[in-house]
Amino acid sequence: MQFEEFAREQLPGLVRFAAVLTGDRQLAQDVVQDALVRAHQGWRRMAALDRPDLYLRKIVVNGYLSWRRRWYQRSVQVTADVTRFREPTAPDPAWQVGDADQLAGLLARLSRAQRASIVLRFYEDRDDDEIAAILGCAPATVRSHVSRGLSALRVQLTEGKEIVS
């Protein structure tokens, strides 16, 4: 498969994945563009892999994590109005996070590894082994990130408190 064909096939899903991961569509496009440039440079090695799509997502995650380290102070959005997080709980917790802005705010309070693991698990529908390959860790570590991230989200949703990671 040629790189152009591969990139064209992966681009829509990759931008959606990066948008959920970053919480910012423009940043997602920048991260994906950087990832595609890196992938193009190493395409011969990538094309030989069993799952070049997983490796491409790993490049996106690493680019996102690198961006977060460099621009952490600019990306944290503190809100003075925490009352919106103290809304009464509903039988279906998905109701509370239906709004994309609120979901982005909830995810932003998780650690980078927890956020990446949860997005890969529930948005990308990846299994532990695939997530581990993307994040460069053990599958047990992935399970730990997902478990702790979900616990932190549950605490924030039920108690209306900010998540401390």
The top-scoring range by mean pLDDT among 68-77, 89-98, 151-160 is 151-160
Cβ–Cβ < 8 Å for 153, 110: yes
| Region of poorest pLDDT, from 19-33, 67-81, 141-155 | 67-81
Q: What is the pLDDT of residue 102?
A: 76
Q: What is the pLDDT of residue 161?
A: 52
Domains of the chain: 1-72 (no CATH), 89-165 (1.10.10.10)
96-128 tens-digit pLDDT: 445 666 778 888 889 999 999 999 999 888 999
